[in-house]
Chain A
């Protein structure tokens, strides 16, 4: 047991001596434990946040269960973080102690590679060692009372946004906002496939930019009213192949927030009208292929695209837009002690629609 608690960067210690407490996963069951630890010395380009609220994302589940790659245990996931700055490195200019700020999925970027130079820092493929592109593994992420990370990946939170419901915007929000911003115009017919954490926000953003929104869900009868209340103009089935075929060519933009193997994915691509775009954001397990009818892609001038989170600039823009249009995720808020329940809901995909943990109460209780 001792060996899976030892970490290369953070010192596992008792709660009195600890700088912070995390919820760490020590194996791929996954087994969650309380993990008090000390941070390494603050780097000149880093800040430390005392976390108020932290969001849970399904990517966390994939990571801690080693579904995408073998995780380095103990691993502390979490990349939807809102808190108050408590420490500022000597070279940091854009944040000060007391600022309300947050982290999304990104931890670092090189600023020199082609992708960075074009502003798409989330696509950075420069050599970042000893830093990493993403927030956690091996560094500790947001399932904790504090986080320490590079200031250039940290984002200020607009005043109008609340503490408790803002964290999921930092990953789910930007992940759907970005492609909607890139591809959707007012008056477009937009199809959102899969109405979970990502999809429900996509419905809200697409409505706010003036689109006509169809929500595709696996449970039409059950969820019709709820999705209509969210803003969907129409609710259709995401699993009935016959119904999907009758909807072929009806959407100018399709955003797919689920991954399902096989012919259903092809049916989603066929929803796209001539001149339209299909965008995939939900990540499959490794190596899954999508079969494309190239004749249709060419003759219909269709775009098939992927999208991956966003840059810091995109985050800032998304937060402003969300504040302006009063767009917030529908969240289930849990106390720190109920972290396992929150994680289980996230794992099973049963949250309405995102799980967020209140770290503030616990942090005060343990005096961190």
Chain B
């Protein structure tokens, strides 16, 4: 149940900034969270982690941002900067004890479904000038979530399969093309969406639900990016089967808690395949993604 909720912020902490929000993106994770599908939420909860706005208040210790700057927040709220993961640059995977802070924007603190947000400056990102107010917010989560693994795993000339062309998938097509890859879009509605996906940059459009067609495409992709979650085991195995020898299968969509996937271990070894997860990215990854998006004019198609 959604209600209008006027509120006062607590006192601004020395390491925080406050943004007046210009545009805010909605992500499916917000739905899972608000419906307590991933964990039991303490209501009232304000989700939203694709936030763009103007800085209105700056804490005493903040050096990197000033009032009037155009900035944004993605899914990450805080990192300890001292644990093994932070020291390796994976601040988004931080396992440090950060209490009373939290790692993610959603949950204990209010997120982006609001007129203003107050949060740590170290996870606040300056927005490159050439990016527009209205279409940039989804880059801060969806863009980052697909750009990060593409950057980590693909080279120009690779064949990339993107499964599930929604908020994540459609951006993945654009980034993969910009990185010089040959892109196959896998969708549940081939006939209906073919033209639209080709226009977006897909070199080929195939079915994500036709098991025979998926099997016919076995070992055809060097990098498979799965933006879907399905509990249909045959379908997941068919997705996994798209990965060529020495290739990587990347799972992005987070399933309901405790769901498993059975993979063929012999295949994993004999074909030397990597099955990997990816989770958003660090602040540094976000900055790089925004620069890349500005340079290649990559923006999400928004309503």
> Which residues of A are at the interface with B, using a C-beta cutoff of 8 A?
114-115, 118, 120, 122-123, 125, 249, 252, 259, 265, 273-275, 280-284, 286-308
Residues of B within 8 A of A299 (CB): 254, 277, 279
Chain B 265-280: CB-based contact to A (< 8 A → 1; otherwise 0):
1111111111111110
Q: Which residue of B88, B219, B222, B265 is within 8 Å of A289 (Cβ)? A: B265
B85 touches A (CB below 8 Å):
yes
Q: Are B95 and A306 in contact (CB under 8 A)?
A: no
Pairs A–B under 8 Å by Cβ, sample size 10: A115-B245, A120-B246, A274-B85, A274-B93, A275-B88, A284-B266, A290-B268, A292-B275, A294-B260, A305-B272
How distant is the Cα of A286 from the Cα of B267 in the complex, in angstroms?
A: 9
B258 touches A (CB below 8 Å):
yes
Residues of A within 8 A of B90 (CB): 274-275, 301
How distant is the Cα of A302 from the Cα of B250 in the complex, in angstroms?
A: 10
How distant is the Cα of A90 from the Cα of B229 in the complex, in angstroms?
A: 57
Q: Which residue of B95, B253, B276 is within 8 Å of A274 (Cβ)? A: B95
B261 touches A (CB below 8 Å):
yes
Chain B interfacial residues counted at CB < 8 A: 41
Known interface pairs A287-B266, A288-B266, A290-B268; A273-B275 also in contact (CB < 8 Å): no
Q: Are B270 and A306 in contact (CB under 8 A)?
A: yes
Not counting A289-B265, A297-B275, A305-B272, a sample of 8 additional A-B residue pairs whose C-beta atoms are within 8 angstroms of each other reads A293-B259, A295-B257, A298-B254, A302-B277, A303-B276, A304-B276, A305-B275, A308-B271
Q: Are B272 and A291 in contact (CB under 8 A)?
A: no
Q: Are A280 and B268 in contact (CB under 8 A)?
A: yes
Residues of A within 8 A of B279 (CB): 298-301
Q: In the complex, which residues 67-114 of chain B have their Cβ closer than 8 Å to any Cβ of chain A?
A: 84-85, 88, 90, 93, 95
Which among B84, B262, B265 has the greatest number of chain A C-beta atoms within 10 A? Answer: B265
> Which residues of B are at the interface with A, using a C-beta cutoff of 8 A?
84-85, 88, 90, 93, 95, 219, 222, 229, 244-246, 251-279
Q: Are B277 and A283 in contact (CB under 8 A)?
A: no
How distant is the Cα of A178 from the Cα of B43 in the complex, in angstroms?
A: 50
Q: Are B264 and A305 in contact (CB under 8 A)?
A: no
Known interface pairs A294-B255, A294-B277; A289-B262 also in contact (CB < 8 Å): yes
Q: Are A123 and B271 in contact (CB under 8 A)?
A: yes
Those 8 A-B pairs whose CB atoms lie nearest each other, nearest first: A306-B268, A306-B269, A298-B277, A297-B277, A123-B245, A274-B93, A289-B262, A305-B274
Q: Give the shortest distance, in Å, between B274 (CB) and chain A (any CB).
A: 4
Q: Which residue of A275, A281, A305 is within 8 Å of B273 (Cβ)? A: A305
Residues of B within 8 A of A292 (CB): 260-263, 275
Known interface pairs A274-B93, A297-B277, A301-B279; A307-B272 also in contact (CB < 8 Å): yes
Residues of B within 8 A of A275 (CB): 85, 88, 90, 93
How distant is the Cα of A274 from the Cα of B95 in the complex, in angstroms?
A: 8
Which chain B residue lies CB-closest to A178? B272
How distant is the Cα of A259 from the Cα of B269 in the complex, in angstroms?
A: 12
Which chain A residue lies CB-closest to B95? A274
Number of A-B contacts defined by CB within 8 Å: 138
Q: Are B272 and A120 in contact (CB under 8 A)?
A: yes
Known interface pairs A301-B93, A303-B274; A308-B269 also in contact (CB < 8 Å): yes
Residues of A within 8 A of B264 (CB): 287-289
Residues of B within 8 A of A122 (CB): 272
How distant is the Cα of A307 from the Cα of B253 in the complex, in angstroms?
A: 25
Q: Are B275 and A295 in contact (CB under 8 A)?
A: no
Which chain B residue lies CB-closest to A120? B246
Q: Are A293 and B277 in contact (CB under 8 A)?
A: no
Residues of A within 8 A of B256 (CB): 295
Q: Are A290 and B262 in contact (CB under 8 A)?
A: yes
How distant is the Cα of A274 from the Cα of B103 in the complex, in angstroms?
A: 14
Known interface pairs A275-B90, A306-B268; A120-B275 also in contact (CB < 8 Å): no
Which chain A residue lies CB-closest to B159? A114
Known interface pairs A114-B245, A294-B251; A249-B95 also in contact (CB < 8 Å): yes
Which chain A residue lies CB-closest to B276? A303
Known interface pairs A286-B266, A301-B278; A294-B85 also in contact (CB < 8 Å): no
Residues of B within 8 A of A281 (CB): 269
Q: Give the shortest distance, in Å, between B254 (CB) and chain A (any CB).
A: 5
How distant is the Cα of A331 from the Cα of B72 in the complex, in angstroms?
A: 60
Q: Give the shortest distance, in Å, between B242 (CB) and chain A (any CB).
A: 14
Known interface pairs A123-B245, A274-B85, A274-B90; A295-B269 also in contact (CB < 8 Å): no
Q: Are B273 and A306 in contact (CB under 8 A)?
A: yes
Residues of B within 8 A of A308 (CB): 269-272
Residues of B within 8 A of A301 (CB): 90, 93, 276-279
Residues of A within 8 A of B263 (CB): 289-290, 292, 304
Residues of B within 8 A of A305 (CB): 268, 272-276
Q: Are B278 and A298 in contact (CB under 8 A)?
A: yes
Residues of A within 8 A of B274 (CB): 303-306
Q: Which residue of B262, B272, B276 is within 8 Å of A302 (Cβ)? A: B276
Q: Give the shortest distance, in Å, between A283 (CB) and chain B (any CB).
A: 5
Which among A114, A288, A301 has the greatest number of chain B C-beta atoms within 10 A? Answer: A301
Which chain B residue lies CB-closest to A118? B246
